[in-house]
């Protein structure tokens, strides 16, 4: 029996909640995590129409990109669409879950989908985050080091870019003396023991710390396991804002804009003046992305595809890059397909539906 928690925990293994921005409200917003899940409806925005669609299709879980609640709700009187949507979900036992900036910030998330739609290759995070990595240092008898290493790797430690099972190992000796209340793996109580040990060092993202420490303690033979957790200032190459990649072949600016308009299925593309350069290297950011314009220029991008640029922010391109504003909804609309792919790969026999409701609040005349 699948529970709502089974679905949300899997999504959070891909886009951990700890990676959301401080202003965000991702996660299970409405609903009982331990309730049996009958089906999931995937959308970009939770609205009353979407909840009604979920009820009609017997889906008691709505998975959205945008959280229906951003700030706190002090009252539930139905005075606006947020309150009405939440009330409708509660009355009908519909859970609402959102993966927002946490899904934006992972390498297989929203921006990877945009890159895929545009046909960009050799992609990487445009603005990687710092302070998210930790280094584990531990000490283990030589004959048990392999078991401990593999347990740490299985818990998610040891990944650096496209490499995994990364560690550094140095041989030395450790000393210890157990009291009368100990049952040492090696040595005798009350006597100092010297043991040949390996010093094992490996890194992991902060959100995996509980799992990594659990793996260490469960695989290590000692009663008292010595280890250090060291915060690192390194950038995390797989976590951050935006992405940048390249086309296999360069194209002129008009051809590029036509391609963007077609592949991203947008009715209008607002853009800066042509720079006269060919387009090969392109930066992207789903949703409001003007904050990454300098990073896009710094990354040597010929063009930047994003949304929600204000009038004066177009001037900031200063002829160095072609800015293409395709609209907020348009830049994130394929996030629904991303959710669908994740869930159907993991739970092939689970009922997952894409909403048929167009929740874009902006219309074009």
Per-residue pLDDT tens for 264-310?
999 999 999 999 999 999 999 999 999 999 999 999 999 999 999 99
- CA 5 from chain centre, in angstroms, equals 18
Confidence of residue 36 (pLDDT cuts 50, 70, 90): very high
Confidence of residue 211 (pLDDT cuts 50, 70, 90): very high
% of the chain exceeding 90 in pLDDT: 97
> Distance between CA 12 and CA 98 in Å, rounded?
10
pLDDT value of residue 202: 98
> Distance between CA 282 and CA 305 in Å, rounded?
7
pLDDT value of residue 1: 87
> Distance between CA 110 and CA 96 in Å, rounded?
19
Residues 6 or more apart in contact with residue 246 via CB below 8 angstroms: 120, 121, 122, 280, 281, 282
Contact 2, 37 (CB under 8 A): yes
Residues 6 or more apart in contact with residue 5 via CB below 8 angstroms: 33, 34
């Amino acid at each position: 029996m699948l529970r709502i928690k089974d679905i949300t925990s899997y999504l959070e293994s891909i886009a951990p909640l700890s990676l959301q921005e401080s202003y965000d409200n991702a996660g299970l917003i409405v609903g009982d995590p331990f309730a049996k899940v009958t089906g999931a409806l995937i959308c970009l925005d939770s609205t009353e129409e979407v909840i009604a669609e979920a009820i009609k299709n017997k889906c008691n879980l709505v998975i959205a990109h945008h959280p229906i609640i951003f700030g706190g709700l002090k009252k539930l009187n139905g005075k606006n669409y947020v309150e009405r949507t939440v009330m409708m979900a509660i009355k009908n036992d519909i859970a609402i879950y959102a993966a927002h900036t946490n899904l934006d910030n992972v390498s297989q998330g929203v921006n990877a989908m945009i890159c895929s739609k545009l046909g960009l290759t050799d992609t990487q995070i445009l603005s990687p985050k710092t302070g998210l990595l930790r280094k584990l240092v531990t000490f283990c008898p030589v004959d048990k080091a392999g078991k401990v290493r593999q347990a740490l790797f299985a818990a998610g430690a040891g990944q650096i870019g496209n490499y995994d099972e990364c560690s550094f190992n140095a041989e030395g000796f450790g000393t210890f003396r157990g009291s009368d209340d100990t049952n040492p793996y090696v040595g005798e109580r009350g006597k100092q023991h010297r043991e040949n040990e390996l010093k094992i060092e490996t890194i992991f993202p902060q959100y995996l710390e509980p799992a990594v420490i659990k793996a260490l303690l469960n695989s290590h033979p000692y009663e008292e396991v010595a280890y250090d957790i060291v915060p690192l200032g390194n950038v995390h190459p797989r976590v951050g804002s935006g992405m940048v990649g390249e086309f296999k072949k360069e194209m002129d600016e008009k051809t590029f804009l036509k391609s963007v308009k077609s592949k991203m299925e947008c009715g209008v593309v607002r853009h800066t003046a042509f720079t006269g350069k060919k387009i090969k290297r392109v930066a992207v950011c789903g949703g409001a992305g003007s904050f990454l314009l300098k990073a896009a220029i710094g990354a040597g991008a010929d063009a930047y595809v994003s949304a929600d640029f204000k009038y004066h922010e177009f001037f900031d391109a200063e002829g160095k890059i072609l800015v293409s504003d395709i609209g907020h909804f348009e830049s994130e609309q394929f996030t629904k397909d991303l959710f669908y792919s994740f869930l159907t790969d993991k739970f092939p026999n689970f009922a997952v539906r894409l909403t048929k409701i167009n929740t874009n609040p902006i219309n074009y005349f």
